[in-house]
Amino acid sequence: MLFNLLIVGYIACAGFVAAGVLGSLYQLVTQEPPKFSLAGEGLLAFLAGIFLCVFAGPFIIMRNAIRGRRIEKRPLGWLVASSTIAGMWSMCSGVMVMNVALVIVGYS
């Protein structure tokens, strides 16, 4: 049971790290923080926006939650709820990241 919880925690961390790397890469390239908006010109920009929202979502949620707590003085429950959502989302995207990593290495 404990081993399974450790695996889930590891997968969630892998998903959050992937979200952070993708969000930081987006911010490095565009000089603006990532956000949940699909305003793009053309199909390729729209698909890139969806990819960004799907995989960098936990990073965007946590960045907004921490800023909301520090700047707008939102209640602590808001931060806890946002952290829970980001954690579950990280776990889901972490499963995809780990599957891709295992396919690349050749274990599947």
Q: Flag whether 75 is in a domain.
A: yes
Residue 1 lies in a domain: no
Pairwise CA distance, residues 51 & 60, whole Å: 13
Contacts of 83 (CB under 8 A, 6+ apart): 62, 65
Overall domain count for the chain: 1
pTM beyond cutoff 0.75: yes
Residues spanned by the domain of 53: 19-91
CB count within 10 Å of CB 40 equals 14
Digit-coded pLDDT (tens) for 12-51: 999 999 999 999 999 999 899 999 887 778 888 888 889 9
3 assigned to some structural domain: no
Going by pLDDT thresholds of 50, 70 and 90, the confidence category of residue 63 is very high
Answer whether residue 102 is part of any domain. no
Determine contact, residues 49/91, Cβ cutoff 8 Å.
no
Question: Within the chain, how many helices (H) and strands (E) appear?
Answer: 3, 0
Domain-located, residue 81: yes
Q: pLDDT confidence of 56, banded at 50, 70, 90?
A: very high
pLDDT of 97 strictly over 70: yes
Q: Does residue 100 belong to any structural domain of this protein?
A: no
